[in-house]
Amino acid sequence: MNLEGKFYYKGEVIEGAIEIEDGKIKRIKKSLSGAKRIKGLILPGAIDLHVHFREPGYEEKEDFYTGTLSAAFGGVTFVMDMPNTAPPVKDIASFQDKLRRVAPKANVDFSLYFMLGENAEILKGINPAFKLYMGETTNAEGGEIRSVENAFISVHAELNECIRKDSKDLKDHDVARPESCEVRAVRKLLGRGKYHIAHVSSIDTVDICKAGGFTCEVTPHHLFLHRDMPIGTYGKVNPPLRAKWMAEKLWEELVNGRIDIVASDHAPHTIEEKEQEFSAAPAGIPEVETYVPIFMYLMKIGKISLHRAMEILMQRPAELVGVKKGKIEEGYDADLIAFNLSDIRKIRAKDLHYKCGWTPYEGFNAIFPHTVIVRGETIVDNYELANERTGKFVRVLGNKF
Ligand code: NCD
Ligand code: ZN
């Protein structure tokens, strides 16, 4: 399939044609006869290095089909799924079992993390992507710091020694798992190797990440939500939502280039679970379908440049793990998303594809992709599902970039 339209190519938006062969972009040309015209603005599909699609073990919250379907409708064409499933992905058998279950259900391309453990050197040969939970969080205990050469290690930086578990509301949750706890955790990693710090919730953490030569990500909830919103347990997440001014500072750090990427930390829980009293409700927020559309709206109204939005949502995350995605250039996978930037819609939980059926972004403005293409195959066409289960497992390269 060959396409033509307006797309982002090497730093500018051009009018041209994309020649696709075997799912890859073969050539960029001025025009191509017989190419299919795609309306609006065409961008590379977004890359989300942090999702919890819950399979196996917690399929009542989400499964790989609904998770990757939500990703597709939100313009995310490659996801990396976290290992805090049940059983946890911590050896070859659990990895193969998970891969066997989830691969036939994948609507977008995906990769899988291992828990970081003593067998990391062996596991790295299968897929050099690890998660280090330094302290306890939903479905995970704290693990030991290890360094692994040429592997991508995403770190949940909180320490058990500075966590209190019985928080009673969003403000108290912030106090119970303070910013200083995250800062302390990241300090412990200094000089120990190369790490990627997941979901930073404080600008002090960003400073230490920079000092340590680490890369870091921020989540949509730490940018767009804060602890004083009336959302109760639906805003309970680890690390916690902070004050509004901190969310604004994190936005500045993202736009000015000190935070490397945005990743969703899509972590759905059922309404029933979230309806429990605060201390009993599990931490985590669903995000994967809404964050790119919110960013597209913010880009449209001038809060962030197209260039920077592309770096943080697409190019840089792909580079960090070493996948040939995230750019519309020769040799890259033909993962493409297209937007009509005038089609601003209000986010409604009922329009989303999550199994959990809720979103904290109800009523937020967003611009959803009308077309989503994965390796040349149209998955979403005119906002409707066109093709399912065509996603493939992708082995990452580690942190060679
Ligand atoms: C995540 C989950 O629910 O799996 N929860 C969360 O609050 N972010 C686990 C995690 O990444 O901490
Ligand atoms: Zn985490």
* Closest listed residue to residue 311, CA positions, set 80, 43, 40: 43
What pLDDT, on a 0 to 100 scale, did the predictor assign at position 400?
59
Residue type present at position 287 = E
* Closest listed residue to residue 274, CA positions, set 138, 150, 140, 157: 138
Question: From the CB of 52, is ligand 1 less than 6 Å away?
Answer: yes
How many C-beta atoms lie closer than 10 Å to residue 26's C-beta? 14
Strand order across the beta sheet in which 114-115 lies: 114-115, 129-133, 152-156, 196-197, 215-218, 261-262
The total of structural domains in the chain comes to: 1
Residue nearest to atom 9 of ligand 1 (CA): 138
Length of the chain: 401
Report the separation in Å between the CA atom of 45 and the middle of ligand 1, taken as the mean of its atom positions: 24
Alpha-carbon gap, residue 19 to 26, rounded angstroms: 5
How many C-beta atoms lie closer than 10 Å to residue 300's C-beta? 17
What pLDDT, on a 0 to 100 scale, did the predictor assign at position 257?
97
CB distance 303 to 297 below 8 Å: no
DSSP 314-365: IIHHHHHHT-S-SS-STTSB--EEEE-TT--EE--GGGS--SS---TTTT-E
Q: Is residue 84 part of a domain?
A: yes
Burial of 125 (0-12, 13-18, 19+ CB in 10 A): exposed
Report the separation in Å between the CA atom of 199 and the middle of ligand 2, taken as the mean of its atom positions: 7
Q: Is residue 311 part of a domain?
A: yes
Question: From the CB of 267, is ligand 1 less than 6 Å away?
Answer: yes
> Which mutation among 79, 131, 265 tests ligand 1's pocket best, with the greatest number of atoms within 8 A of CB?
265
Burial of 336 (0-12, 13-18, 19+ CB in 10 A): buried
For ligand 1, what atom is nearest to the CA of residue 84? 4
Query: Which DSSP letter does residue 241 get?
Result: P
How many C-beta atoms lie closer than 10 Å to residue 228's C-beta? 14
CB distance 304 to 295 below 8 Å: yes
Q: Which domain holds residue 184?
A: 44-327+344-369+379-385
> Which mutation among 55, 61, 84 tests ligand 1's pocket best, with the greatest number of atoms within 8 A of CB?
84
Q: Is residue 155 part of a domain?
A: yes
What pLDDT, on a 0 to 100 scale, did the predictor assign at position 1?
86
Report the separation in Å between the CA atom of 157 and the middle of ligand 2, taken as the mean of its atom positions: 8
What pLDDT, on a 0 to 100 scale, did the predictor assign at position 42?
98
Q: Which two tokens stand for residue 125?
A: 């040969």
Residue type present at position 246 = M
Q: Is residue 9 part of a domain?
A: no
Q: Is residue 33 part of a domain?
A: no
401 residues of the chain, pLDDT tens digit each: 899 999 999 989 999 999 999 999 999 999 999 999 999 999 999 999 999 999 999 999 999 999 999 999 999 999 999 999 999 999 999 999 999 999 999 999 999 999 999 999 999 999 999 999 999 999 999 999 999 999 999 999 999 999 999 999 999 999 999 999 999 999 999 999 999 999 999 999 999 999 999 999 999 999 999 999 999 999 999 999 999 999 999 999 999 999 999 999 999 999 999 999 999 999 999 999 999 999 999 999 999 999 999 999 999 999 999 999 999 999 999 999 999 999 999 999 999 999 999 999 999 999 999 999 999 999 999 999 999 999 999 999 987 54
Residue 317, domain CATH:
3.20.20.140
Alpha-carbon gap, residue 383 to 138, rounded angstroms: 33
Alpha-carbon gap, residue 353 to 379, rounded angstroms: 14
For ligand 1, what atom is nearest to the CA of residue 282? 3
Q: Is residue 179 part of a domain?
A: yes
Whether the model clears a pTM of 0.85, i.e. scores above it, the answer is yes
* Closest listed residue to residue 26, CA positions, set 265, 332, 276: 332
For ligand 1, what atom is nearest to the CA of residue 54? 4
Q: Is residue 334 part of a domain?
A: no
Q: Which two tokens stand for residue 180?
A: 């200083």
Alpha-carbon gap, residue 153 to 146, rounded angstroms: 10
Q: Is residue 137 part of a domain?
A: yes
